Amino acid sequence: MIEKDIALKVLGTLNLGGASFSEIYIQKSISNSLKLEDSSIENSNSGYDMGCGLRVWIGDSTYYAYVDSIEEKKLIEAAKILGAAGKSSATGKIFDLNRDLREASSGYKANILKNPSATAAIEKKDILMAVDRVCREYDKHIIQVTTSLSDIEEEVYTANSYGEESFHKVVKVFLSVNAIAKKDSDMGTGYKSLAKTSGYEAVSISKACSIAKEASRIAITMLDAVDAPMGSLPVVIGPAFGGVIFHEACGHGLEADSVIKDSSVFKGKEGKKIASEIVTAIDDSSMPNHWGSFKFDGEGYPSSPITLIKDGVLESFIYDLRTSKKLEKERTPNGRRQSFRHVPIPRMTNTYIARGTEKPEDLIKSVKKGIFAKEFAGGQVDPATGDFVFGISEGYLIESGKLGKPINGATLIGNGPDILKKIEAIADDLDFAPGFCGKQGQSIANEVGQPTIKVSEITVGGTGGK
């Protein structure tokens, strides 16, 4: 993407003002998307983007600029302007870059068998049409189907004044299905998605149809939902997307920039018990083909698993390079950015609660009266306190240890750190669900996960009685 001598020249120009650190980040991406609605293609888009982000540290300040080009002349001009920000600072350091950059290595391996660029548009359309057909044939009460398919191929290069250099390719595919059912005046909605850091081998027609059936099942099931109960009740939270509560209500508080800003409820609690002793939580960017995985993070640091909580004890926060320096902690592979137009910040990747030893059905049997929250809709979280409100998109009553009727209008209201301490049992059915996480104006791909878990009590807000 760029010659090493040019990269060194740009870094050297950035350092002329006395920066303590400088970095270049180059990204080239090709993206495609298709959307089907009312059994026909509604939107088809393709895009190409390429550019370079430039960053310097001067004292405690970060200065950032980007260029929609990788032409040497434009990069040098931008580097001169950005580097000049440090000329009034006496805290900078002149780096000697008269040496080779050291190429970083990573143990991440994931073979791409079917690149998006080698997949015909008609084949992508066939996937969407098959999804639409399966949903509509599932039940006569399915009245609307919306499905979208997108992919991206990227090349990313990083180099910095520490002499670190990395290059990697990223391929991602994402399929979403939304089905709406209607019976008389009752409405039901079902949503499922399939997303991988992979090629189209991950989104075959058979796999897409399986997702379509699940979205349809949820929509039809919710037609018969009864009003949700209210009060403090035992709650069994389902696997995969159930992990969104940990991600939102606890995970963001473990990102080190929130610690620096005094906006984390977990500040000062490293080495202390913050959860039930059966809880172990991990952030792992190195799992092959998972939606939040990569070879190198947005700062060129190799992926690896990080244990956040072990047996209930807080082991580590989530760091990028800047926060690890400020807090004098070991760096983790979590410096992430949406694109070359964005500054890297500490972000989660594939974050999950580790599997337990119990069977999910036994967790249901242990509840006399409560609810089973299988899938979640939107929610709100205060990251400074961990207080949350989450809507349940698919939930059921639990009565005398058995699943009862589906419920609608249910919300879970609680506090993330408090819920961690109330986890009584963890099953062995660990699963994952993909999504997008927004923070500081940046949206990135990540994955949440957990097995089925049982929480002793959570406040349930609903429309029914106790």
Burial readout 263-286 (b: 16 or more C-beta within 10 A, e: otherwise): bbbbeebeeeebbbebbbbbbbbb
Band of residue 324 on the pLDDT scale cut at 50, 70, 90: very high
Q: What are 180-227's pLDDT values in tens digits? A: 999 999 999 999 999 999 999 999 999 999 999 999 999 999 999 999
Mean pLDDT of 35-44: 94
Judge contact between 216 and 190, C-beta under 8 A.
yes
Q: Residue 16: what pLDDT?
A: 86
Residue type, 15: N
Q: Residue 127: what pLDDT?
A: 98
| 41: phi then psi, degrees, rounded to nearest 5 | -70, 120
Predicted TM-score (pTM) of the model is 0.94
Q: How many CB atoms lie within 10 A of CB 440?
A: 10
Q: Which CATH superfamily is domain 116-157+166-224 in?
A: PmbA/TldD superfamily (3.30.2290.10)
Both tokens of residue 186?
């009752």
- In the beta sheet, which residues pair with residue 388? 381, 414
4-32+42-103: CATH topology is 3.30.720
- Over its C-alpha atoms, the chain yields an Rg (Å, rounded) of 24
Residue 98 has pLDDT above 80, yes or no: no
What 316-319 contacts at long range (C-beta under 8 Å, 24+ apart), as own/partner pairs, is: 316/270, 317/254, 317/255, 317/256, 317/259, 317/266, 317/270, 317/346, 318/251, 318/254, 318/255, 318/256, 318/283, 318/346, 318/347, 318/348, 319/256, 319/346
Domains 4-32+42-103 and 116-157+166-224 share a fold: no
Residue 96 has pLDDT above 60, yes or no: no
Q: How far apart are CA 290 and CA 308, in angstroms?
A: 19
Residue 254 has pLDDT above 70, yes or no: yes
Band of residue 18 on the pLDDT scale cut at 50, 70, 90: confident
Judge contact between 179 and 95, C-beta under 8 A.
no
Q: How many CB atoms lie within 10 A of CB 94?
A: 12
Q: Which residues contact 444 (CB under 8 A, 6 or more apart)?
A: 336, 337, 338, 347, 436, 437
Q: How far apart are CA 211 and CA 224, in angstroms?
A: 21
Q: Residue 384: what pLDDT?
A: 85
Residue 90 has pLDDT above 90, yes or no: no
Residue 334 has pLDDT above 50, yes or no: yes
Residue 380 has pLDDT above 50, yes or no: yes
Q: Sketch the domain layout of the chain as residue ranges.
A: 4-32+42-103, 116-157+166-224, 227-461
Q: Which residues contact 263 (CB under 8 A, 6 or more apart)?
A: 383, 384
Q: Which residues contact 140 (CB under 8 A, 6 or more apart)?
A: none
Band of residue 240 on the pLDDT scale cut at 50, 70, 90: very high
Give the lowest-confidence range in 86-100, 153-167, 266-280, 372-386. 86-100
Helix (H) or strand (E) holding 94, with range, is none
Band of residue 87 on the pLDDT scale cut at 50, 70, 90: low
- Degrees (nearest 5) of the Cα angle 451, 456, 461? 95
Closest listed residue to residue 8, CA positions, set 102, 93, 86: 102
Q: How far apart are CA 152 and CA 115, in angstroms?
A: 9
Q: What are 387-418's pLDDT values in tens digits? A: 999 999 999 999 999 999 999 989 999 999 99
